[in-house]
Chain A
Amino acid sequence: MANNAALDDLIRDFKQKDIKAFERIYEMYSQNIHGVIYTIVRNEAIAQEVMQDVFMKAWNNAESYSPKKGRLFTWLLNIARNAAIDVTRSKKFNQSKQNLNSSFFVDILGSNDNTEQNIDLKYIKKLMSGLKETCISLLELLYFKGYTQKETSEELGIPLGTVKTNNRKCVSELRSLVLR
């Protein structure tokens, strides 16, 4: 990750439609955004397409972004989630009749047959296996699917007040896994 001063400069240039700055941002976040979209649409070709749309949207609305509204990554994350969810609601997409109700991460962890999954998902499997099952669901809902605290508490059947603190614990766990 770029150092902070560099990120601030990058954001400033990006808002002024500097294509070089945009390229840096793309390099920094495209894989992340692709990952988020993929967990939702579960189709690599579609995920690539949606990701490109997300970055085009980001470029076209660059001037509307402000650090006051949140992190640039969060801003992109938000665009990506909305775009991916829009796609899953489209007619064309529903014709492929994929089972999207289940948890992506739970599915990954549940499958022992690696030939069915892309080889690159090994790392996520490793990351996820280090987490508690409740954390996997919580992180998926809050960061990938953009569920609100209320929606998350309803989905997981936990009190609303514990979502925030549970999430804190889960992210802390993830941080220790990442640092390993």
Chain B
Amino acid sequence: MDIKKYIESGILELYVAGLLSEKENQEVHEAILAYPKIKKEVEEIENAIQHLTKASSPGNTQSFSTLKEKLSKSKNVKVIDLKETTKKRNWLTYTGWAASILLAVGLIYTYTQNTELKEQIQLTDTKNNVLEELIKDANESNSKSEELIKIFRDKDIISIALAGQAVSPDSYAKVFWNKKEQTAYIDAAGLPEPPEGKVYQVWSLKLDPLTPTSMGLLSDFASDDNKVFTLANINDSDAFGITLEPEGGSVSPNLEQLYTLGVVKSTS
């Protein structure tokens, strides 16, 4: 680099004036760092200009303390501003963290709740199934009952009350007999549960002379809900009796174990 030519070009004067481009400023700055002679030249130019600018001031300038006071005032404002922003940032940061933690806790809680709810749904489903079964059963038993009511309301039905006998005075039973259809419905709800190995046997009786004819057994007595048993009766019965017989039934009734007995009213 021709230092002398560079100096003579007048670029350094423009540099001090602040009239160069950013790139040119950088180049001059590098030249200053590289060549002490250029640096000295710049300083001398600056010094001369400073004489001129200083001389242009008509009086003494205010002391630095005036400026410092101004600065501290604006500084205080700034400091407060900074604090506020810091606080705000902190507040935001804390809120952010808090929100994250809350979210995590919330997710765990939701997951647990979800699992619990799923289990509850499963349980409810099972309960539902049970209830549905019960409803089905109830409906069935209801329809059975309705069927029974229908039967009992039939105009051809004769109702015969069987009273308790010596063996079991509190027992009672009813026979609903449809002569036309040759069917007898035995309502045995008033009979005690038969002991193990025993069974009730229903008899159709002719009174003159006394002739018992077996109509059948009240089998599965304990498990029958409504205790209404349907038996065929082809006989022209005068009376009905129920005795307790050994399992499988007997050919002729054991009259000592006669539980109930009732006579068909002659009016029918």
Q: List chain A positions with a Cβ less than 8 A from chain B.
A: 1, 4, 19, 23, 26-27, 29-36, 38-39, 44, 47-48, 51-52, 55-56, 59, 67-71, 73-75, 77-78, 104, 117-118, 120-121, 123-124, 127, 139, 142-144, 146, 148-149, 164-165, 167-168, 171, 174-175, 178
Contacts and interface: CB of A to CB of B under 8 A. Distances in A.
A143 to B, nearest CB: 5
B67 A56 contact: yes
A123 B8 CA distance: 28
Nearest to A79: B18
B10 A36 contact: no
B49 to A, nearest CB: 6
Is chain A's binding surface mostly helix, strand, loop or mixed? helix
A86 B152 CA distance: 116
A164 B9 contact: yes
Interface string B1-43: 0000000111101111111101001101100000000010011
Nearest to B9: A164
Interface stretch (B51-59, B178-186, B242-250): B51-59
Q: Give the bracket for the number of chain B residues in contact with chain A.
A: 35 or more
Interface of B: 8-11, 13-20, 22, 25-26, 28-29, 39, 42-62, 64, 66-68, 70-71, 74
Given A26-B67, A35-B56, A149-B14, 10 more contacts: A4-B39, A19-B68, A48-B61, A48-B62, A56-B67, A73-B16, A77-B53, A127-B52, A164-B14, A171-B49
Contact of A69 (B19, B22, B56): B22
A19 to B, nearest CB: 7
Given A78-B18, A146-B18, A38 B57 contact: yes
Contact of B29 (A68, A164, A178): A68
10 closest residue pairs by CB, A with B: A35-B56, A168-B10, A35-B57, A118-B58, A124-B55, A32-B53, A164-B10, A74-B18, A34-B57, A175-B48
